[in-house]
Structure 1
Amino acid sequence: MKEKEILYLIEKLQLKTISTEELKRLQHLFHEASGNKALLQLMREKFDEISDSSEALKSFKQEQAIRSRLIRHIEKNSIVPKNRVRRYYWASAVVAVCLIVGFVFLTDKVTDTNGELKWTTVDTQAGERKKVTLSDGTIILLNGNTTLAYPTQMLQHIRLVKLKGEAFFDVAKNEKKPFLIVSKDFTTQVVGTSFNIDSDIGRVVEVNTGKVNVFAVPENKTIELIDMSHNTSENILSLINKTSNTHVFLLNGQKAQLNQQNSWEVSTYYYKNWFDNELVHLNEPLHQVIRKAYRNYGDSIAVHPSMVDKNITITFKNRKKEQVLNTLAELCNGKLTYNKMTNTWTITKK
């Protein structure tokens, strides 16, 4: 049982999700294991694994010195036979690693303060995609022409990112720390689920798995509420809920779109999207379809003014850029031309 508990707590330590009490428990288990050969071997293996993989440990310059002092202290003061000294060394070394990584983790984890948040930003160009993995294990796929920002240091009570553009989220489950995505016109809150957000063109949230709360609270107001929550016992989700005029709760297979009146329109979602190389357009004006095509492919696309408001309903699956644009031109009874000098596609009247 203790082996499983040690492995579980070490995994939480490496993922930076361990609490202060759990860290103390892990240290206690290490001390208890000093006479158990099997546990010492397990600890040695985990010590090697952490040493190889932990960025926190790599950046801790005194680690080698601590290990050296530990072994010298054991050799000098221990009365156990020499063939057992190495086992005690590894027990102490792993305890040291636990203390080091735990210290780095606990000091790196920011307690929410009134200070201005510092952000790490990831951008994509039109036609480019990127994958971002956060420290909690959350995976985010960025579509083209998108900006993602997350706090440089962890917050204590929430997980937070800012989004401009489109991204697919696979959020690691943590019921104690809800995950907030703030964008220009709305805020999305989840615990652990997968979903797509188009924050600027479609203003839509599409849920693949789990449950999602969406609030018509813009980015600047949500950030203001986060700052306010430092000085009140009321939590941030309660403040957002009170502020939002319109709020929807989505299940898997549903999507919500924020209309021009800032009201949510909920409908069925068919799970396929850009990350599956499938583009679904349901009664969308051509100018919006063209903006999405630019985000996906990266080439500039011009459309004759008389065509921009024509509604389009079509699905493209694994289609090349020229095939997609040719089809759009045909649907508008137009023709497609390409200028190599300016790298621009144009849909004009026939």
Structure 2
Amino acid sequence: MDDDRPDVLLTGLLFYDLVLTGLGKPPTPGEEVWTTGMGCGPGGIANLAVAASRFGLRTSLATVFGDDFYGAHCREVLAGQEGVDLTLSRVAHGRPTPVTVALALPHPRSGEGRTIHDRALVTHGQEPPYSQDALMGDPPAARTALVHLEAEPRAWIGKAAANGTRIYADVGWDPTQQWSRDLLDQLALCHAFLPNETEAMAYTRTDSAVAALGTLSELVPVAVVTRGGDGALAVDQTTGEYADVPAVDIDVLDPTGAGDVFCAAFVAASLGGWPLEERLRFAVLAAGLSVRHHGGALAAPGWYGVDRWWRSLTDPGLKRAYGFLADRLPADPGPPVRYAPVTPPAPHG
């Protein structure tokens, strides 16, 4: 309670997201497709920042905003509405904020007879004029940092780890599909690694999520493999715990940012010192609640969303599985969260 460091340190690319849902199929050339749902708001690294802040974590974000309407709107949402500290962030004068149009599309999973959801993305933008290392410099001491590992290691991550910051890392799709194991060398700096099962199996050269988890658990103290609609599994070598939990059955509107919400929730529960199974169930639940709303950042449920879900729960099996929430939820979960609007408010002035 006496620790005044940021709870979470973040850096990465920020986007303005326009998310379209309710598409029965993707559009084809020459065709106009009407959609039944739309939402807009900050995306990219903002997904992690908002998700963490809504769980009451002091969140410090280093990113680059364009000097346009989209950049001003994203700054107002992050700092003014969500309470994210933007001291380390900068404005790139003369450069637009990257904009992403996301199409949330259902498609059948081959051979399983059920529908899963994914998204197609179209982005306009430029690389920012400041790198992550330039933004961070000598990073401030923080309790944790949520990082996205890339082929080229970022110097600031090593500096942060040397400061005593616990590094929680994920990784993205490798467009080269080489899945170089050299990337895993960076896990020596990390406290936890949270890839999805496709990434985990590819980097470890294994053929199952369980086998991938076994390999990763030898490289990092806390290894987590997320499995989308099949839940998640994890090993914590610091406590000797293993957990494998199912997903919560929730209707999917838009899966954008669900992985980021999972990571932020897992960090929040870890900072609370929860047992591994509770950490994993909480993260799976938070990610599940996020897919019921448009967009990435503003779909994050926060304590308010989790509290509402718990209070409305009638399923006895879920009541037992999530009974720990009765002791974990704050007495005041805060005001209702604001979800992604169809259109942003008009600029001031």
TM tier relative to shorter chain: under 0.3
Structure with greater helix percent = 1
TM-score (norm: length of structure 2): 0.23
Bigger RCO of structures 1 and 2 (CA < 8 A, at least 6 apart): 2
Structure with greater strand percent = 1
